[in-house]
Amino acid sequence: EAGVVQSPRYKIIEKKQPVAFWCNPISGHNTLYWYRQNLGQGPELLIRYENEEAVDDSQLPKDRFSAERLKGVDSTLKIQPAELGDSAVYLCASSPGQPGEKLFFGSGTQLSVL
Amino acid sequence: AQKITQTQPGMFVQEKEAVTLDCTYDTSDPSYGLFWYKQPSSGEMIFLIYQGSYDQQNATEGRYSLNFQKARKSANLVISASQLGDSAMYFCAMRELSSGNTPLVFGKGTRLSVIA
């Protein structure tokens, strides 16, 4: 069974440039999460999808971040424009959708904003 | 609001010895799940073990066991017979379950270094 796939693995951009991250969850997983992990910290939730609906985006900085999950499968997270403080690892995770079930994580995208 | 505290930024353990990584949590939800994840240098979060708040017995998965003390709100991870490959970041996380499918909230992690 294929795991959660994220791309790109690494991204280096200059500040004020746009950037996008892509995530393909495990087949059949209804719930998809985007987390941000700053250096030396635990992951923090940015947004959670149930199928194609964003059900928890309270931590998403909406002035520059946007996300979508078309058709309830793949998801894209975008930052425009990027700031120096956005440098972090962006992790995508999915789960079947039942409470108590574990999340399956992708390898993440490491973003460096110069 | 739920909260996870990991007070050990870093731990060292001799190969083949056992090590305990501490985790305390705070929640007002009587139904919750506790998770431990391992994050090696490659970056992927690897699920290790799960404990439900109503589980009567401590969870075990191979060399991993969870020392669950509900009254103290602690969920320490015990790794027995440490191996060099156990060197990684370890994160404790919790989900509140009464409200349905809530996200995982993570602690700041503990970096474990296994010494040969």
With beta carbons less than 8 A apart as the criterion, state whether A27 and A2 touch. Answer: yes
Contacts of A102 in chain B (CB under 8 A): 35, 47, 50
Question: What stretches of chain A show up as alpha helix (H) in DSSP?
Answer: none
Question: For residues B35 and B4, what is the distance between their CA atoms, to the nearest angstrom?
Answer: 11
With beta carbons less than 8 A apart as the criterion, state whether B93 and B3 touch. Answer: no
In this prediction, residue A96 carries a pLDDT of 87
CA trace torsion B35, B38, B39, B45 (10° rounding): -50
CB-count burial class (<10 Å; 0-12, 13-18, 19+) for A90: buried
Query: Average pLDDT per run of 10 along chain B, which is 116 residues long?
Result: 89 97 95 95 93 94 96 97 97 89 89 97
Question: For residues A88 and A78, what is the distance between their CA atoms, to the nearest angstrom?
Answer: 14
In this prediction, residue A2 carries a pLDDT of 81
B102 touches chain A (CB under 8 A): yes
Give residue B43's identity as a one-letter amino acid code.
G
Long-range contacts of A55-61 (CB under 8 A, 24+ apart): A56/B103
> With an 8 Å Cβ cutoff, are B47 and A42 in contact?
no
A75 touches chain B (CB under 8 A): no
Distance from CA of B24 to the nearest CA of A (A): 15
Beta strands in B1-116 (DSSP E): 3-5, 10-14, 19-21, 24-26, 32-39, 46-52, 60-61, 64-69, 74-79, 88-96, 105-106, 110-115
Give residue A47's identity as a one-letter amino acid code.
I
What tokens does B19 get?
Answer: 């090590």
CA dihedral for A103, A91, B32, B111, sign (positive or negative) = positive
Q: Can you list the residues of chain A whose pLDDT is less than 70?
A: 1
First vs last Cα of chain B: how many Å apart?
41
Closest CA in chain B for residue A110? B43
In this prediction, residue A71 carries a pLDDT of 84
In this prediction, residue B2 carries a pLDDT of 66
Residues in chain B: 116
In this prediction, residue B20 carries a pLDDT of 98
Contacts of B95 in chain A (CB under 8 A): 99-100
In this prediction, residue A101 carries a pLDDT of 82
B104: which DSSP letter?
P
Give A11's contacts (C-beta < 8 A, 6+ positions apart): A19, A21, A109, A110, A111, A112
In this prediction, residue A56 carries a pLDDT of 87
Question: For residues A48 and A36, what is the distance between their CA atoms, to the nearest angstrom?
Answer: 12
